[in-house]
Amino acid sequence: MVINPTYLAQRTRTSVNWPDAKRRVAKSYREWLRSAPEIQQMYSLNMPVSEIRTKVRQEFERHRYVSQLPVVDMLLFQSHSEYQETLNYWKQLPHVLKYFREKENPTARLPQSFMQGFLEAYRLFPSI
């Protein structure tokens, strides 16, 4: 298998105005939705394609009310870099599954501080 690092590569650019930004966001959203079956197959995800598409929609909806054009451009850049890394198989399975973590384990959360996390781990694994 030949590795082509420029596969899916795009030049970074800024949006000229809001209609241009909306067009670019819609294009990015469609790319993600169309690649959901391929992502499911590549990473052997044990979930339906509809669930992957729902998660993509949730991620886009999370930033729906961003009102600054440079922030939208930055989010588009991040979205495309995630897309490129995902479809080039530069991510491992845990990197993809982190987006579905709260659905799999509703009690999953980050500790409030380092010490609290350390003590919780110590209580779970006292023999270490």
What is the Cα 4 distance to its own chain's centre?
A: 22
Q: Are 32 and 16 in contact (CB under 8 A)?
A: no
Q: Is the pLDDT of residue 128 over 60?
A: no
Burial per residue of 54-93, b for 16 or more beta-carbon CB atoms within 10 angstroms, e otherwise = ebbeeebeeeeeeeeeeebbebbeebbebbbebbbeebee
> For residue 108, what pLDDT is reported?
63
Q: Are 20 and 69 in contact (CB under 8 A)?
A: no
What's the pLDDT tens digit per position in 14-42?
Answer: 999 999 999 999 999 999 999 999 999 99
> For residue 127, what pLDDT is reported?
65
What's the pLDDT tens digit per position in 82-91?
Answer: 999 999 888 9
Residues 6+ apart with CB under 8 A from 124: none
* Joined tokens for residue 88: 């080039």
CA–CA distance, 42 with 88 (Å, rounded to integer) = 10
